[in-house]
Structure 1
Amino acid sequence: MPAPKKTVRRSLLVTSAALLSTALTAPGAFAAPSPSGSPSASPSVTPPATMSTVGGARLGRPGTQVDLASGVPVLPKDVTARSWIVADAESGEVLAAHNAHWRLAPASTLKMLFADTLLPKFPRTMEHKVTPSDLAGVGPGSSMVGIKEDETYSVHDLWLGVFLRSGNDAVRVLSAMNGGLENTVREMNEHAEELQALDTRVVSPDGYDAEGQVSSAYDLTLIARSGLQKKDFREYCSTVTAKFPGETKKDKKGRTVRKSFEIQNTNRLLSGDADVPVYQGIAGVKNGNTTNAGATFTGVAERDGKVLLVTVMNPGKDEHNEVYKEAARLFDWGFKAVGKVQPVGELVPPRSAAQATAQPGANASGEAGGTGDGTTGTGAKPVASAPAADGSSGIGTALGIVGGVLVLLAGGAFLVNRRWPLPDLVRRRTRP
């Protein structure tokens, strides 16, 4: 069913879908940067007294920012993350935040920026034969999807590796295709600046711990919101399981064969785990975990016509899957509070948004690029898919995101109203 229309004041329709990956990159060789971005022996336990005020003055203050009033539920008490944010994905209103602009190591949530920067560049059917230099410099203990030298992979395969398994090997190959690591890092930093994700500094495109590499809960939420405008981004981040090409070998009869193996999304709110059920309405986005960053996560979920974005960075409680548990509590609060609580800030639009949407001939579909036709690739199972003919089953109730249409106002201009316009949303439910 299509997403409900909003008033003219909010005139733009929602989007969302994303995926995540968990327990990703492992210990890095550098110390975590301090909130100011300079290196330190260990991550600071105290946020800076003043931070960026992008999105509103209150978002630059340390501590929890929320306007509790009659009818607004209290925030969950058992959220231990150093930084978090709950935002309305459609309006951009920040419902509550805690140290929103604290510059911290992002881990593999940074791959959202990598994808948002590079996805439009290569058709998903394009193929690439991997060379040894493509995989040079992958950090020790990195999360890997299992790419092999001298094997050929499609761009579609590589993005499945990035989103589902958070494969640093897949990131390195795509970076090589993009002119190398240095060029990719430069383009990612330029794109972050365009999005006004000004807390973000990229050093390693895969999110592997690197000196001076930082982002913030606010920035990661901005980046996710931008990525979710791309239908390929929405597809990949909401895919639960997929087939990935294996290594070419000789079978017992001497024939050359190349079998596939299954990979699963490591976002536990999407795929579930023993102590974390699939979250109702979850549709992605991305997770990460390194020594310096701890566990990080940005998620998007829909319930009762509302779409929320939640980012959680570095929970203080050292329990299995804690980052997902805290994200779920914040989602629960957000769905109860949205429409009742006064916002404490907003997610700002990209610098070029107003100009781009006002230009004659702008893409009326609202899609911000993509890498192909946006259809599900062979072997991929998007989130909330119905039981398949082969006996496999979809996991949970979530969003299936397709392309969308922005609301056109009189004169053919889009009403931005300081909001980042998002495509329409179409939901698919699992069949009984």
Structure 2
Amino acid sequence: MKANNHKQNKKRSMIKKSVTAVMVLNMMYMSALPVVGNFDPSVATFAAGATTEAVNITGTGSVKPPSLALRSAILIEPSTGQVLLSMNPDEPLPPASMTKMMTEYLVAEQVKQGKLKWTDKVTVQENAAKSIGSRIFLAQGDQHTVEELYIAMAVGSANDATVALAERVSGTEQDFVKLMNETAQKMGMKNTYFINSTGLDRGDMPKGFQPDTDRETVMTARDAATLAGNIIKDHPDYTRFTTIQSYKFRPTDKAPIINYNWMLEANKNITNFKKFAYPGLDGMKTGHTANAGNCFTGTAERNGMRLISVVMGADSDAHRFTETAKVLNYGFDNFEVKQVVAPKTVVKGAENVPVSKGTETEVPVVTKDAVSFVVPKGAGNPKVTFTTNITPESSLVAPLKQGAKVGTISYTYKTDGVEKGQVKTVDLVTTTAVEEAGWFRMLFRAIGNFFGDLFQGIKNLF
């Protein structure tokens, strides 16, 4: 009987154990955000010893990254989170108006949750009316809709519109800043700190509305990419705003707001912008102050692959876009995304998992989501290994719903000569429901197991 128990336990443990296998726009003016003071060209130089680095996922080292004259940069593929290029990616730097991406995210969240409507009226308060820099010259007491102010923020980087929205959401800008910092932490933006909703330096904020701190807003290139990725994931309709080439805020305005993003694909037909227009680019946010230099978080999609790039500390408006083009070209020219596991795939060696107290003693499982990796362009199907982690039978107790999580499976894509591989973990879920067994069924099952074990024990004696 002990030998039989050993065999049954061994069989069950084989299901539970990790299984490893091989799978193999006409420019209307050329001014950027108004700033106080002159840009110091030395700011645009990166620290001694800093170089552009490509993350080696090829194993050959033959894919060389471009040389960049920036303080910081990063390129990521958001669906996998894979970093393809980096340069001082974790150095906290002033992001200027790229800060507004968080304000954009939070206002869009309010609308998504039903706490705001795009048609809601916003009354402009003193803080917003006194905001300097890029603005639409709001006066205290003016009323505009959430959508009108949002467009002014996203397209024209209007500081007054941004503050007005922040105050509409949280009452005061500083209460909104608390929400910004809390959200940044939740997103995993580890080296970001906000002091306002706009990205202005503390000294440029209206007197009486500056925070009680000597700190300034900082953000890393990696965190900016993370923020942009969350906008893309949670608010995929962002392009409704970011691709607007010009917008007349008031019927009485002599000229419309022109989008600071010269790289929009639609700008290919605009005389002064067409040399910057980039195929597939539809966002996301520029930034410019004396301390920050010129920054840009861009995102483009080609042939089904989206990339997010961040450049910080460029020495001119145009330079931030030409550097962005170099970064994005590097990604699109050399890499592609390949799906190696489809959703709802049966995993060999873990087709079923045991369940306690159910009408069935085991339930079939599949992967919940697809698994994709960034691979060198033109490469064959990547070879991957996987490891499963099944929830112990004692914790998998009926009733179980269809689609219930019963474990995880981690896929690793690693090439010879690469120290660290890409890893993607997805859930294993049930394909059917398992009802709880009645006491009568459980009794007879116990009796059957008893006599089965007894018979097997006797048989093993001979």
Q: Tell me which interval the TM-score lies in, with the shorter structure as reference length.
A: 0.5 to 0.7
Q: Is it true that 1:221 corresponds to 2:225 in the alignment?
A: yes
What is the CA–CA distance in structure 2 between the aligned matches of 1:159 and 1:112, rounded to whole Å?
11
Q: Is it true that 1:235 corresponds to 2:240 in the alignment?
A: yes
AA aligned to 1:75 is P
What is the CA–CA distance in structure 2 between the aligned matches of 1:415 and 1:26, rounded to whole Å?
51
What is the CA–CA distance in structure 2 between the aligned matches of 1:239 and 1:420, rounded to whole Å?
37
Q: Is it true that 1:292 corresponds to 2:281 in the alignment?
A: no
What is the deviation of 1:136? Answer: 4.7
What is the CA–CA distance in structure 2 between the aligned matches of 1:84 and 1:204, rounded to whole Å?
23
What is the deviation of 1:241? Answer: 2.6
Structure 2 match to 1:193: 185
SS of 2:284's equivalent in the other structure is strand
**Residues 125-167 of structure 1: CA deviation (Å, up to 9, x unaligned):** 1112324x2425413xx10134344332110101000000000
Contact 1:217 1:311 (C-alpha < 8 Å) held by counterparts: yes
Structure 1 match to 2:200: 208
Q: Is it true that 1:326 corresponds to 2:318 in the alignment?
A: no
**Residues 54-92 of structure 1: CA deviation (Å, up to 9, x unaligned):** xxxxxxxx5433227548542223x21111001112211
| 1:386-405 mapped onto 2 (5 Å cutoff) | none
Structure 2 match to 1:75: 65
What is the CA–CA distance in structure 1 between the aligned matches of 2:235 and 2:224, rounded to whole Å?
16
**Residues 8-45 of structure 1: CA deviation (Å, up to 9, x unaligned):** xxxxxxxxxxxxxx96544369x99xxxxxxxxx9696
What is the deviation of 1:205? Answer: 1.1
Gaps of 5+ in 2: 1-29, 111-115, 203-214, 339-401, 411-422, 427-462
AA aligned to 1:189 is N
Q: How high is the TM-score relative to the length of structure 1?
A: 0.61
AA aligned to 1:202 is F
**Structure with the larger RCO, 1 or 2 (CA within 8 Å, 6+ apart):** 1
SS of 2:217's equivalent in the other structure is coil
What is the deviation of 1:281? Answer: 0.5
SS of 1:105's equivalent in the other structure is coil
**Residues 332-376 of structure 1: CA deviation (Å, up to 9, x unaligned):** 1110122499xxxxxxxxxxxxxxxxxxxxxxxxxxxxxxxxxxx
Structure 1 match to 2:108: 119
| 1:105-116 mapped onto 2 (5 Å cutoff) | 105-116=94-105
What is the deviation of 1:305? Answer: 1.6
Contact 2:103 2:166 (C-alpha < 8 Å) held by counterparts: no
Given candidates 125, 128, 138, the residue that maps to 1:135 is 128
Call closer, same or farther: CA 1:109–1:225 in 2, change over 3 Å. Answer: same
What is the deviation of 1:420? Answer: 11
Structure 2 match to 1:64: 52
The Cα RMSD (Å) is: 3.5
SS of 1:208's equivalent in the other structure is coil
What is the deviation of 1:275? Answer: 7.1
Contact 1:71 1:340 (C-alpha < 8 Å) held by counterparts: no
SS of 2:83's equivalent in the other structure is strand
AA aligned to 2:53 is Q
AA aligned to 1:185 is V
What is the deviation of 1:321? Answer: 0.6
Call closer, same or farther: CA 1:91–1:103 in 2, change over 3 Å. Answer: same
Tell me which protein shows more strand as a share of its residues.
2
SS of 1:212's equivalent in the other structure is coil
AA aligned to 1:105 is P
Tell me which protein shows more helix as a share of its residues.
2
What is the deviation of 1:267? Answer: 0.2
Q: How high is the TM-score relative to the length of structure 2?
A: 0.57
Call closer, same or farther: CA 1:23–1:111 in 2, change over 3 Å. Answer: farther
Structure 2 match to 1:152: 143
Contact 1:145 1:166 (C-alpha < 8 Å) held by counterparts: no
Deviates more, 1:64-73 or 1:204-213: 64-73
What is the deviation of 1:282? Answer: 0.4
What is the deviation of 1:286? Answer: 0.4
AA aligned to 2:157 is S
What is the CA–CA distance in structure 2 between the aligned matches of 1:309 and 1:43, rounded to whole Å?
24
What is the deviation of 1:104? Answer: 0.5
AA aligned to 2:74 is I
Structure 2 match to 1:268: 262
AA aligned to 1:227 is I
Structure 1 match to 2:350: none
Number of residues paired by the alignment?
A: 295
AA aligned to 1:265 is N
| 1:307-326 mapped onto 2 (5 Å cutoff) | 307-315=306-314, 318-326=315-323
SS of 1:244's equivalent in the other structure is coil
What is the CA–CA distance in structure 2 between the aligned matches of 1:137 and 1:72, rounded to whole Å?
53
Call closer, same or farther: CA 1:245–1:216 in 2, change over 3 Å. Answer: same
AA aligned to 1:236 is F
Contact 2:130 2:160 (C-alpha < 8 Å) held by counterparts: no
Question: Percent same amino acid among aligned pairs?
Answer: 25
Given candidates 154, 175, 181, the residue that maps to 2:173 is 181
Structure 2 match to 1:411: 403
Deviates more, 1:192-201 or 1:232-241: 232-241
Call closer, same or farther: CA 1:319–1:230 in 2, change over 3 Å. Answer: closer
Structure 2 match to 1:376: none
Given candidates 127, 143, 162, the residue that maps to 1:171 is 162
What is the CA–CA distance in structure 1 between the aligned matches of 2:90 and 2:195, rounded to whole Å?
19
Call closer, same or farther: CA 1:296–1:416 in 2, change over 3 Å. Answer: farther
SS of 1:150's equivalent in the other structure is coil
**Residues 80-110 of structure 1: CA deviation (Å, up to 9, x unaligned):** 1111001112211001101110110000011
Given candidates 327, 334, 338, the residue that maps to 2:335 is 338
What is the CA–CA distance in structure 1 between the aligned matches of 2:103 and 2:153, rounded to whole Å?
10
SS of 2:118's equivalent in the other structure is coil
AA aligned to 1:76 is P
AA aligned to 1:307 is R
Largest Rg, 1 or 2: 2
Call closer, same or farther: CA 1:159–1:420 in 2, change over 3 Å. Answer: farther
